Structure 1
Amino acid sequence: MHFNRSDKDDKFLLNLYKRLLYPRLVEEKMLKLLRQGRIGKWFSGIGQEAIAVGSTLAMQSDEYILPMHRNLGVFTSRDIPLKKLMAQWQGKITGFTKGRDRSFHFGTQEYKIIGMISHLGPQMALADGIALADVLRKQPKATLVYTGEGATSEGDFHEAVNVASVWNLPVIFLIENNGYGLSTPKSEQFRCKNLVDKAIGYGIEGIQIDGNNILEVYNTINQLANEIRKDPRPVLVECLTFRMRGHEEASGTKYVPQELFDEWEKKDPLSNYESYLIEQGILTPDLVIDFKIKFKTDIELDIEEAFNEPEAEAGASHEEADMYFPFTQQITEPGTSLTEKRYLDAISEGLDLAMQKYPNLVLMGQDIAEYGGAFKITDGFTTKYGKERVRNTPICESAIVGAGLGLSINGYKAVVEMQFADFVTVGFNQIVNNLAKTHYRWGEKADVVVRMPTGAGTGAGPFHSQSNEAWFTKTPGLKIVYPAFPADAKGLLLAAIEDPNPVLYFEHKYLYRSLTAPVPDGYYTTAIGKAVTLAWGNKFTIITYGLGVHWALDYIKNNPLCDATLIDLRTLQPWDKETVTRAVKTTGRVLILHEDTLTNGFGAEISAWIGEHCFSDLDAPVMRCASLDTAIPMSKVLEDDFLAKARLAKTIDKLLKY
């Protein structure tokens, strides 16, 4: 192994050695604790430390690094106290996640480290968003994100690298190629000779280096970071290395040929660098002993103190509260001046006002720039705000939702447009596992709104007409709004953008141009979590939202003696239980109406809640009127029969006759 010290003095080289030695000794201690049964799991990075240590030290201390679970050296090189790390690993209340998540699945703004989730690939899109925020601020910063050779097979890898390439983002994508994804060898992961060759397909620079040579790692990353701070662009770096332990200790290493261990043991990053420093007269065997004694003593002390830290305390109230970033909505009341607007125009005006109020707000979506979006909601926005803030995206929903979270982490707000709500399936993981859980896991906000053009009525068929709100209403950490009128569409959108928590904003496509109503002029917000009662009666209550509101209004108009109370929920998470309770007590009969399919639609949750909490007030079973339990057909005849409206009158008759 050849070491190139370049212009580095002895002090620097010696510090590099100590930074390399320390995580190795921590790891050795962890393996002992594992054998003693004092810890339950460990993902070892022994043999790979040069990558984490060298690359971290090459970055500026205020630049973000997004590591994986075998990168202890990132955390120790950023000087996170071992006691704090150990508390995290042991699930202590003083850990970064308060006992809620494992190993390195956490982030910390203090140390500018954003940890992974178990799905491996999604953190790469976060790096895009973080880097984009730096570019928008015109700050000369680089972002470093790790992935393994196995995760390069994931779509998240492709999407994130492609977005960074198209947008010229200063991201270093570092692949730790250690030969195995758990037990699957690289020969069964990809056919290209070298992973660095993938850079060619994205039109970016690719560099392959010896990941066990700490000076080569440091020099390469340092040079690249310096370059892309001045000339923003992404770079792909493949670090060749080897995992000397199992994927995690319980998995063992029987699947790895012994000759590979023998070969890579000779390339050990610590012993090779130690020998080099001794040869250069910078280090002595006695000094090595001194360092080890000092480090081991400190490690023992920190670990034992961490074991004595208090355990996490169970408590439903604070657990549920921590699903969301603390935020108390301050309602901005609308003025008295009104203008007739289409539902679509109210949404457009809301976005426009938000862009004016928040200079750190970025809109992202397919075709939303010059074209104005599939439904023309952002038409003209690029002229007013520029393409930096109104960004056309490649067709990669996962990367763009992840980039939205990255923007939020680095001080921006993001609104992501799904061209159709149906397409959210390819961004599902980022929403339910990253946006929804980030605050609960490590206290960071996810200031992202995802716009969801939803619903049927236009004959668009199975992939452009689904009502998929129930996919998300069961996911703690998300807020779900669903306006039925232009005024609410504007007020709820502005409220969603104000809220630092992730909000899914469902907007019904059928209403875009078919519904016109008075909308207050200027900036105002509508309360998230508050329903509105649109009609008052004594015989029965209809609880609904979205297009269902208009079906119900039509029914009441055509049946003026029906004596019904009509509740428009407007928000599905959190939903307004108080308003529902009052209506149930008044009428004793309840019909829940929604456009989604019957089975496991959101109406099932409302029905169950009413049955549990308002049973004594009911004069009849709670009934649901929903769409058929089929996919949505294209034909108008079939679609009309599919939708809940076709069964509304019959279901109400059944309810009243009970």
Structure 2
Amino acid sequence: MPQVDTPPSLDVHALYRAMLVPRVIEEKMLRLIRQGRISKWFSGYGQEAIAVGTTWALRDDDYILPMHRNLGVWTTRGVELRPLFCQLMGKEGGFTKGRDRTFHFGLPEKHIIGMISHMAAMMPVACGLGQAFRYRDEDRVAVTFCGDGGSREGDFHEALNLASVWDLPVVFLVENNGYGLSTPTTDALGTTNIAEAARGYGMPGEAVDGNDVLEVIDHVESAAEYARSNGPVLLEMKTFRVRGHEEASGTKYVPDDLIETWEDRDPVDRLTRHALANGHMKQADIEALREELEQEINEIAEWALDQPEVESTVEAERADLFAPFSDDSPLAFDLSLVAPNDEPKSEKRFIDAIQDGLRQAMEADETSLVMGQDVAEYGGVFKVTEGFLDQFGPKRVRNTPIIESGAIGASLGLAVEGLNPVVEMQYGDFITCGFNQTVNNLATTHYRWAQEVGVTIRAPIGGGIGAGPFHSQSMEAWFAHAPGLKVVLPSSPADAKGLLIAAMADPNPVLFFEHKKLYRSIREDVPDAPYRLPLGTARVARTGADATIVSWGVGVHWALEAAEAWQEEGVDLEVIDLRTIVPWDRDIVLQSLAKTNRLLVLHEATRTGGFGAEVAAEITEEGFKELDAPPIRVGAEDLPVPFARNLERDIFSAKSKLDDALDRLLTF
């Protein structure tokens, strides 16, 4: 392809330096790995034009979401090299305190958000950033990278669709470098031009010579300007990976002549020839610049290698898992209103209390917004957001396409930009389609690079309504196992309101599980004013002396019913409602056990691997001397939830097993 002419305003010397910095770093890192002084390197050698050209073409406040081979993004944005080398080498002084590798982190002050290892996972995040720009009417754009292999992932297509439907200012940039690890692109794609995917999503798409930095700058500038006003653009950068997927894997699977062909199109060499031929630089200038950079990079790399290994403590690592709550939050409401007092109260059903809490939080915090399937005009399938569109408008109440992963990923981008998103899952079961974004992106971000992630995911869960295997699951244990998530399961209207507001006020990702059967079947007096309940604090739902039942959600009602029935037999049962299982209140359970000396843990979810096992095991470890009988766990049968009401009620349900379990506990 012919080289693009140099724009008159372009500082070719500065651009040449920007191109040479990542190349010299690459050369140093490749020497170090051959010497066995570093263990791994994902090389972008020969692809520098894409990273450098893209960054050069954008404004400083535009976001870039790069990948492993985009070192030039970081260097062109002026990221300080000494901590960057410590990061790359896993030494003290890196950006993630040794918690993640290479470019798996973000630098908000530079408007760069690095990748996670799951391909295309950051593309929905870019949509969230674009949504934030539109929300504030800011003239900014987000550019997100993926490889040719990542363009087959669902997140790629969900992100393109969301950006197209919402006209988001996002540029999707695919580096088509010929191979997905060892698989040729031609074996993975049904087309030779990934840019053609743009037509299916109603956006412009172009193929670009990714080894010509001037062409990259030209196309990215045009795409960004289009995106700011009109919506998304897809750019396919044609390039080649002349090194291995990572250096240890080599390139034996690549034909030698193919590598030779692309080496002739090396982007640094092409810019060198252009600079010399057009009189922008002299050979002596180029040699002097290279010598200067080689000396600087060598010195910094050797310095970084001499830095100490990362050290920490268990206490420090635990302290950084979650962001601390700030009393400056607009949702820092009173924590005491649910206690007996003279505050006005009104009778509300479980669903009414959730709606009331969500509405009051959105009234108090203009950064709060809700999105999900059918949440706008329709009001959600369970009508929690009914009337919200009229009150808060379409920027704050938005229907998403059927893209659970895309919506959850977008929520991270919104949170990075300081907004407070609430994502409604139509049914909790469908969150499996967004599992990666939840447990690998939302959950890990604060621990890895100290970014607050104030995202609330509301999810209707549970059975008892004859909805079958895919609309009845209780999946809280899945998420309790992922460090970095908080998990809430209210059982009463008053708790539901206070805990939802607390979840939205929390600067961390919170899974808020709402039991569908409770929506319209229970009611109580609920304070009219907004209030919070602290996450991680259980309540004594019923006092007793003979045994303790610990539960959450709908299980609390089963426990209370059983306690009333056993009271007629002279048995006095105490019921503890955990309310949140991450974090969960060990102290209140141990206090109860010290009084009753017997423990039963009850939950609706299947027994094996249920969170009840965690409670029973932990309490046994900490309170063994208080036990007069082995703790008993009661959960559902280890089966998918059956559709037929009698099968669900009589065979599957944990409730049907509760009386026998209590009999065993009390007669031991």
The equivalent of 1:265 in structure 2 is 263
For residues 419-458 of structure 1, the aligned pairs below 5 Å read: 419-458=426-465
What SS is found at the alignment partner of 1:436? helix
The equivalent of 2:29 in structure 1 is 30
- Establish whether residue 367 from structure 1 lines up as the match of residue 374 from structure 2: yes
The equivalent of 1:310 in structure 2 is 308
The equivalent of 2:655 in structure 1 is 645
The equivalent of 2:602 in structure 1 is 593
Mapped contact 2:606–2:635 kept (Cα < 8 A)? yes
The separation in 2 between residues aligned to 1:490 and 1:95, in whole angstroms, is: 42
The equivalent of 2:215 in structure 1 is 216
The equivalent of 1:621 in structure 2 is 630
Mapped contact 1:125–1:399 kept (Cα < 8 A)? yes
Amino acid corresponding to residue 348 of structure 2 in structure 1 = K
- Establish whether residue 239 from structure 1 lines up as the match of residue 260 from structure 2: no
For residues 185-334 of structure 1, the aligned pairs below 5 Å read: 185-229=184-228, 231-327=229-325, 332=334, 333-334=336-337
Q: Once the two structures are superposed, what CA deviation does each residue of 1:155-207 show, in whole Å capped at 9, x if it has no partner? A: 01000111000000000000000010000001111112310011111111001
C-alpha deviation, 1:313, in angstroms: 0.9
The equivalent of 2:523 in structure 1 is 516
C-alpha deviation, 1:534, in angstroms: 1.5
What SS is found at the alignment partner of 2:299? helix
What SS is found at the alignment partner of 1:437? helix
C-alpha deviation, 1:93, in angstroms: 2.9
C-alpha deviation, 1:551, in angstroms: 0.7
What SS is found at the alignment partner of 1:476? coil
- Establish whether residue 572 from structure 1 lines up as the match of residue 570 from structure 2: no
C-alpha deviation, 1:4, in angstroms: 2.5
The separation in 2 between residues aligned to 1:340 and 1:585, in whole angstroms, is: 35
- Tell me the matched-pair count: 656
C-alpha deviation, 1:564, in angstroms: 1.0
Mapped contact 2:186–2:192 kept (Cα < 8 A)? no
The separation in 2 between residues aligned to 1:338 and 1:68, in whole angstroms, is: 53
The equivalent of 1:7 in structure 2 is 7
C-alpha deviation, 1:509, in angstroms: 0.2
Mapped contact 1:473–1:572 kept (Cα < 8 A)? yes
What SS is found at the alignment partner of 2:11? helix
What SS is found at the alignment partner of 2:110? coil
Which runs of 4 or more aligned residues in structure 1 lie more than 4 Å from their structure 2 counterparts after TM superposition? 328-331
The equivalent of 1:123 in structure 2 is 122
The separation in 1 between residues aligned to 2:450 and 2:491, in whole angstroms, is: 33
Amino acid corresponding to residue 411 of structure 1 in structure 2 = G
- Establish whether residue 42 from structure 1 lines up as the match of residue 49 from structure 2: no
For residues 55-94 of structure 1, the aligned pairs below 5 Å read: 55-94=54-93
- Establish whether residue 492 from structure 1 lines up as the match of residue 499 from structure 2: yes
- Establish whether residue 545 from structure 1 lines up as the match of residue 544 from structure 2: no
Amino acid corresponding to residue 667 of structure 2 in structure 1 = K
Mapped contact 1:331–1:526 kept (Cα < 8 A)? no
Alignment partner of 1:413 out of 420, 425, 439: 420
Please, what TM-score do these two structures have when normalized by structure 2?
0.97
Mapped contact 2:499–2:535 kept (Cα < 8 A)? yes
The equivalent of 2:156 in structure 1 is 157
The separation in 2 between residues aligned to 1:271 and 1:327, in whole angstroms, is: 52
The equivalent of 2:51 in structure 1 is 52
- Establish whether residue 402 from structure 1 lines up as the match of residue 400 from structure 2: no
The separation in 2 between residues aligned to 1:326 and 1:440, in whole angstroms, is: 12
What SS is found at the alignment partner of 1:510? helix
Alignment partner of 1:607 out of 616, 628, 634: 616
Alignment partner of 1:502 out of 499, 509, 517: 509
The separation in 2 between residues aligned to 1:533 and 1:632, in whole angstroms, is: 30
Q: Once the two structures are superposed, what CA deviation does each residue of 1:567-613 show, in whole Å capped at 9, x if it has no partner? A: 00001000001001101111110011110111110000001001111
The separation in 2 between residues aligned to 1:416 and 1:400, in whole angstroms, is: 7
Mapped contact 1:68–1:147 kept (Cα < 8 A)? yes
Mapped contact 2:53–2:213 kept (Cα < 8 A)? yes
What SS is found at the alignment partner of 2:548? strand
The equivalent of 1:636 in structure 2 is 645
C-alpha deviation, 1:91, in angstroms: 1.3
The separation in 1 between residues aligned to 2:466 and 2:606, in whole angstroms, is: 17
What SS is found at the alignment partner of 1:500? coil
The separation in 2 between residues aligned to 1:511 and 1:93, in whole angstroms, is: 51
C-alpha deviation, 1:537, in angstroms: 1.4
What SS is found at the alignment partner of 2:163? helix
Amino acid corresponding to residue 596 of structure 1 in structure 2 = A
Amino acid corresponding to residue 414 of structure 1 in structure 2 = P
C-alpha deviation, 1:228, in angstroms: 2.2
Alignment partner of 2:466 out of 451, 459, 476: 459
The separation in 2 between residues aligned to 1:474 and 1:191, in whole angstroms, is: 39
What SS is found at the alignment partner of 1:517? strand
What SS is found at the alignment partner of 2:541? strand
What SS is found at the alignment partner of 1:513? coil
Amino acid corresponding to residue 659 of structure 2 in structure 1 = A
C-alpha deviation, 1:331, in angstroms: 5.8
What SS is found at the alignment partner of 1:340? strand
The separation in 2 between residues aligned to 1:8 and 1:413, in whole angstroms, is: 44
Amino acid corresponding to residue 397 of structure 1 in structure 2 = E
Mapped contact 2:145–2:174 kept (Cα < 8 A)? yes
The separation in 2 between residues aligned to 1:457 and 1:3, in whole angstroms, is: 67
The equivalent of 1:657 in structure 2 is 667
Amino acid corresponding to residue 54 of structure 1 in structure 2 = G
The separation in 2 between residues aligned to 1:356 and 1:232, in whole angstroms, is: 30
The unaligned stretches of length 5 or more in structure 2 are none
C-alpha deviation, 1:224, in angstroms: 1.8
